[in-house]
Amino acid sequence: MVYDYLVIAGYFALMVAISLLFKKMASNSASDYFRGGGKMLWWMVGATAFMTQFSAWTFTGAAGKAFTDGFAIMGVFIGNMVAYVAAYFYFAPRFRQMRVDTPTEGVRRRFGHGNEQFFTWVIIPLSVINAGVWLNGLGVFASAVFDSPIVPTIWVTGIVVLAISLLSGAWGVVASDFIQTLVVAVISVACAATALFVVGGPFEIIDRFPGGFVSGPDLNYPLLLVGSFLFYIVKQLQSINNMQESYRFLNAKDSLNARKAAVMALVMMMFGAVIWFIPPWATAIMNPEAATAYPQLGAKASDAVYLVFARTYMPAGTVGLLMAGLFAATMSSMDSALNRNSGIFTRSFYGPILRKGQATDKEQLFAGQIACVVNGVLVIGMAQFFNSMKTLSLFDLMMQVATLLQSPILVPLFAGIFIRKTPKWAPWTTVIFGLFVSYLVANIFTADIVAGWFGMTDLTARELGDFKIIETIAAHLIFTLGFFCLTTLFYNEAKDTNIEATTEFFRDVDTPVIAGEGQSAYDRAQRLKLGTLVMYMGLGLVLMVLIPNPVWGRALFAVCAAAIFAIGYGMKKSAGPRTDDLPAEPQPVKL
């Protein structure tokens, strides 16, 4: 255990170094703090686009689902892949071409000031809820690792993540996302390779998985599995490609880099979707009682199966490295309620409403930092509340929050990009109608009742959960999206007071962004700073070879260290010789 603590301490030192190193780049303007001034390279933007779909939940709730149900968990991640394909061809460049600093500024340009305020005060609470789910997932895993109560773990980890996120805004968050992408990739491959070796190969997993690998146990209606796959695709397509989540691509330096970022996220998701779950799949075969290893977690005990694998089969120090990675990975999820929400509050409420447009850029930067702290405390409190819900597993909890609360909000923010002629009242009325649909699904037309209409009266607990998700997504696809489409029938161009702003918005959305002058200095700084940090991280991993382990364990750490160091060296070398410096004073931002 002492080696795990040392690994975590070393890793947090690296995270703090990232924040300090990028602090200057985030201090020139509020735009730099909220979205890196729109100056980031594709591999940084792609890393954050990928990591915002990855958190401790992948190694806890999703791993628990993989342990019990087998291949079915892949539906969520296949949905992510389809969504990133759509982002490459359509959404990613258009989000960058909105030419805004925050998502709600895009809402204002598309739908008007009234809808900007409506979505400001809908998005912020929802983001706090979602980030609370992510932090609770990390708390479950961390409490099992350190054998400590979940609530203190949530507070400690939340405060640490808040402190790191606060120091350097979007630059620090995105830089840490990139390094986390490398760590997650290398460590996941190491765990997957070990699992395949121990279990005897991939065909052993397919042949010996309890209850059948493709369908899993407790499945009387295989058609439900197909349905869940299809509707997960629909859900993730909207969840990733909407104006609320456009901040993933607002950071890119131009339209081309936004497209490349979507490709990188797609490749990483394809690469990771399988290898992440090889260890829990193998554990279901080799240690079917793993879900009972941590009874103190109650109904969430199965969420710790990845930890059981790491402690049982991996060399000493792996658990610490895994935990260190998950601490920082959660930063990308908490960013939804910290950096992004602080930007939304400052740009859409503090500046235009409280300060009547008189706030200076420096004042907005300070207001954003205060908002970041407030949101961080709210997220910690929300995570503690979710922990009190003992009867839900993390997977079910996340999916219920996402489908029942988030789906109505995402419909107009997704469809509004390509359905252009809608009345001003369409977005907020669609959300209210969608919330009514969610209420009906949750309380009136419940899953067991609707399943009975189709003659499915003997659903297992697993099938009932899957049917509930399918029903909710289908309801919003048919009724909520249908409602938004029907509002186009009431559009009257002659009475549209926002038509000039909307026309200008879509003209910008259809016009590629070209990087402005002085961008080369920022390009070089990103390659040089991150390349150097990655090299130091590789050197730090070399020290893990000294941990008392079998030869194969030491060799595993040596290979991981060499791979990371080589990537860092390549990045630093690509920076090339210095040709110009970053501006010392705040510069006008080219949106």
User: For the segment 90-108, what is each residue's pLDDT rounded down to a tens digit?
Assistant: 999 999 999 999 999 999 9
State residue 217's pLDDT score: 83
Where are the alpha helices (H) located in 39-149, listed in sequence order?
A: 42-51, 56-59, 61-69, 74-86, 92-96, 103-111, 113-146
Do 503 and 535 lie in a common domain?
no
Residue 585 lies in a domain: no
Do 491 and 532 lie in a common domain?
no
Is 23 within 8 Å of 31 (Cβ atoms)?
no
Count of structural domains, the chain: 2
- Of the candidates 333, 325, 307, 334, the one whose C-alpha atom is nearest the C-alpha of residue 8 is 325
Residue 300 lies in a domain: yes
Average pLDDT over residues 151-165: 78
Do 406 and 374 lie in a common domain?
yes
State residue 491's pLDDT score: 94
State residue 284's pLDDT score: 93
- Split at pLDDT 50, 70, 90, the class of 589 is very low
State residue 296's pLDDT score: 67
- Looking at residue 572, its amino acid is K
pLDDT above 90 for 137: no
Average pLDDT over residues 321-325: 76
Is 348 within 8 Å of 117 (Cβ atoms)?
yes
In angstroms, rounded to a whole number, what is the distance separating the alpha carbons of residues 466 and 6? 41
- Of the candidates 131, 150, 128, the one whose C-alpha atom is nearest the C-alpha of residue 140 is 150
Weakest-pLDDT range from 231-240, 258-267, 332-341: 332-341
Residue 588 lies in a domain: no
State residue 400's pLDDT score: 63
Do 502 and 566 lie in a common domain?
no
pLDDT more than 90, % of the chain: 44
Residue 203 lies in a domain: yes
In angstroms, rounded to a whole number, what is the distance separating the alpha carbons of residues 557 and 545? 6
Is 176 within 8 Å of 36 (Cβ atoms)?
no
Helix 305-313 crosses helix 318-334 at what angle (to 10 degrees)?
A: 150
State residue 219's pLDDT score: 81
Tell me which of 501 and 586 has the higher pLDDT.
501
Residue 583 lies in a domain: no
- Of the candidates 286, 25, 56, the one whose C-alpha atom is nearest the C-alpha of residue 173 is 25
Is 446 within 8 Å of 141 (Cβ atoms)?
no
In angstroms, rounded to a whole number, what is the distance separating the alpha carbons of residues 272 and 185? 7
The enclosing domain of 356 has a CATH number of 1.20.1730.10
| Residue 419: burial class (beta carbons within 10 Å; 0-12, 13-18, 19+) | middle
Report which listed range, 146-150, 170-174, 466-470, is most confident: 466-470
pLDDT above 70 for 327: yes
pLDDT above 60 for 30: yes
pLDDT above 90 for 61: no
Residue 205 lies in a domain: yes
Average pLDDT over residues 433-445: 91
Do 441 and 521 lie in a common domain?
no
Tell me which of 110 and 320 has the higher pLDDT.
110
Do 247 and 165 lie in a common domain?
yes
- Split at pLDDT 50, 70, 90, the class of 259 is very high
Which own/partner contact pairs does 286-295 have at CB distance under 8 Å and 24+ positions apart? Answer: 286/198, 286/199, 287/312, 288/210, 290/67, 291/64, 291/67, 291/68, 294/144
Tell me which of 486 and 387 has the higher pLDDT.
486
Average pLDDT over residues 433-462: 89
CA 484 vs. chain centroid, Å, equals 27
pLDDT above 50 for 313: yes
Tell me which of 578 and 537 has the higher pLDDT.
537
pLDDT above 90 for 283: yes
Weakest-pLDDT range from 49-58, 155-164, 354-363, 392-401: 392-401
- Looking at residue 161, its amino acid is V
Tell me which of 3 and 54 has the higher pLDDT.
3
Do 36 and 168 lie in a common domain?
yes
Is 296 within 8 Å of 302 (Cβ atoms)?
no
* CA torsion through residues 270, 273, 276, 281, sign: negative
Do 511 and 521 lie in a common domain?
no
Residue 584 lies in a domain: no
* Chain position carrying tokens 């773990």: 153
Do 405 and 501 lie in a common domain?
yes
- Furthest CA-CA distance within the chain: 76
- Split at pLDDT 50, 70, 90, the class of 566 is very high
3-class DSSP state for residue 252?
A: strand
pTM across the whole model: 0.89
Helix 61-69 crosses helix 305-313 at what angle (to 10 degrees)?
A: 80
State residue 185's pLDDT score: 81
pLDDT above 50 for 588: no
State residue 520's pLDDT score: 86
State residue 335's pLDDT score: 67
- What integer best gives the mean pLDDT of the chain? 86
CA 334 vs. chain centroid, Å, equals 9
The contacts of residue 568 (CB under 8 Å, 6+ apart) are: 530, 531, 532, 533, 534, 535, 536, 537, 538
In angstroms, rounded to a whole number, what is the distance separating the alpha carbons of residues 143 and 152? 9
Angle at the Cα of 568 from the Cα atoms of 566 and 569, rounded to 5 degrees: 65
State residue 515's pLDDT score: 82
pLDDT above 90 for 1: no
Residue 589 lies in a domain: no
pLDDT above 90 for 169: no
State residue 394's pLDDT score: 62
Do 431 and 549 lie in a common domain?
no
Q: Domain containing 37: what range?
A: 2-515
- Looking at residue 255, its amino acid is S
CA 506 vs. chain centroid, Å, equals 27
pLDDT above 50 for 62: yes
Do 542 and 451 lie in a common domain?
no
Average pLDDT over residues 470-497: 94
State residue 292's pLDDT score: 81
Do 237 and 260 lie in a common domain?
yes
Average pLDDT over residues 338-359: 91
Average pLDDT over residues 279-297: 86
State residue 586's pLDDT score: 43
